[in-house]
A and B are shown apart, each in its own frame.
Chain A
Amino acid sequence: MTQEVKTRPLNRLKSMYALRAEVDKMYEAGGDAKAEGRPVAWVMLEGWANAILSAMDVISVYPENYSSLCAAAKLAGPFLERAESEGYPTHLCGYARTCVGYSARMVELNGQIPPEAPAGGMPKPTLLVSSGEVCDARFKWFQSLGRYFDAPVWTLESPSPTARDSLTPGTYERNVQFLTNELRQFVIFLEKLLGKKMDYSRLNFTGEGTNEINRLRWEINQLRKARPGPMHSRDFWSVMSAALYRGGADPTAIVEGHKKLYEEVKYRVDHGIAAINRPEKYRLAFEGLPPWHSLGFLDDLADRGWNFVCESAYSPRRPIEIDLSKISDPIEKYVRARYRSLADSIVDEFGAEEAPKVVEEVMQEGSARRLRLRHIREYQCDGVLLHVLLSCRAASSGLSLFSDQLLDVYKVPSLIIEGDIIDTSLFNPAEALRKAETFEETMDHYRKVRKDMGLEW
Chain B
Amino acid sequence: MVVATKQGMARVDELYRERPQRVKELKSGGKKIVGYLCIYPVLEMMTALDLVPYRVVGDMREPITKADSYMPPVVCPFLRSCLDTGLKGKYDFLDGMVTSHICDVGSSLSGVWNYTVKTPYHYHIDTPHTVHETSLEQLRGLLGAFRKSLEEFTGNKLTDAMLKAAIALHNEQRALVRELYELKKPDPPLISGAETIKIIKAVQSLPTNEGNALLRSVIADVKARKNGPVKKSARLLVWGSILDDTALMEMIESLDANVVMDDTCVGSRPFFEDVKPTADPIDGLARHYLVDIKCPRTFRAWDFYATKKNYMEDLKARFSYLSDYARDWKANGVIVESVRYCDTHGYEVPGVRDYFKEVGLPSIYLEHDYTEGALAPLRTRVQGFLEIIG
Contacts and interface: CB of A to CB of B under 8 A. Distances in A.
Interface of A: 86-89, 91-93, 96, 132, 135-137, 139-141, 143-144, 146-147, 149-153, 155, 157, 159-162, 165, 168, 170-171, 174, 178, 181-182, 185, 188-189, 192-193, 365-367, 388-391, 393-394, 396-401, 404-405, 418
Interface in B57-83: 68-72, 74-76
B105 interface: yes
A5 B43 CA distance: 64
8 contacts: A87-B349, A89-B340, A136-B103, A157-B129, A159-B126, A170-B141, A388-B72, A398-B112
Contacts of A150: 308-311
Contact of A157 (B105, B138, B306): B138
Contacts of B297: 136
A136 to B, nearest CB: 5
Given A86-B350, A87-B349, A418-B74, 9 more contacts: A89-B367, A136-B104, A141-B347, A147-B350, A152-B306, A157-B134, A178-B134, A178-B137, A178-B141
Contacts, number: 178
Contacts of A87: 349-350, 353, 365
B105 A393 contact: yes
B351 A146 contact: yes
A159 B107 CA distance: 12
A159 B70 contact: no
A401 B130 CA distance: 29
Interface string B114-127: 11000000101010
A149 B309 contact: yes
Nearest to B67: A400
A393 to B, nearest CB: 5
Contacts of B258: none
Chain B CB count within 10 A is highest, among A136, A143, A366, for A136
A152 B128 contact: no
Contact of B346 (A91, A165, A174, A390): A91
A397 B110 CA distance: 11
A400 B71 CA distance: 6
B385 interface: no
B349 A157 contact: no
A50 to B, nearest CB: 19
A92 B111 CA distance: 23
Contacts of B96: none
Contacts of A188: 305
Contacts of B129: 132, 136, 139, 155, 157
Nearest to A86: B350
A390 B301 contact: no
B13 interface: no
Given A157-B134, A159-B138, A367-B114, A147 B306 contact: no
A139 B308 CA distance: 18
B101 interface: yes
B307 interface: yes
Chain B CB count within 10 A is highest, among A157, A170, A388, for A157
Interface string B337-379: 0101101101111110110000000000101000000000000
A144 B69 contact: no
A93 B343 contact: yes
B101 A92 contact: no
Nearest to A163: B111
Given A88-B350, A396-B75, A400-B71, A140 B296 contact: yes
A193 B307 CA distance: 5
B105 to A, nearest CB: 5
Contact of A140 (B128, B311, B343): B343
A138 B124 CA distance: 22
A146 B76 CA distance: 26
B13 to A, nearest CB: 35
B351 A132 contact: no
Contacts of B307: 152, 189, 192-193
A389 B138 CA distance: 32
Nearest to A400: B70
Given A139-B129, A181-B134, A397 B296 contact: no
Contacts of A140: 296, 299, 343-344, 346-348
A366 B117 CA distance: 13
Contacts of A86: 350
Contacts of B341: 91, 393
Interface in B266-313: 296-297, 299, 301, 305-311
Contact of A397 (B105, B347, B348): B105
A27 B132 CA distance: 33
B124 A165 contact: yes
A152 B350 contact: no
A153 B68 CA distance: 37
B320 interface: no
Nearest to A426: B74
Contacts of B110: 162
A189 B309 CA distance: 13
A155 B309 contact: no
B299 A155 contact: yes
Contacts of A170: 141, 145
A162 B311 CA distance: 36
Nearest to B312: A146
Contacts of A137: 343, 347
Nearest to B114: A366
B111 A146 contact: no
B135 interface: yes
Which 6 residue pairs of A and B lie closest in terms of their CB atoms, listed nearest first?
A140-B347, A397-B108, A394-B104, A193-B307, A181-B134, A89-B346
Contacts of A162: 110-111, 124, 126
Given A132-B129, A150-B309, A144 B343 contact: no
Contacts of B109: 397
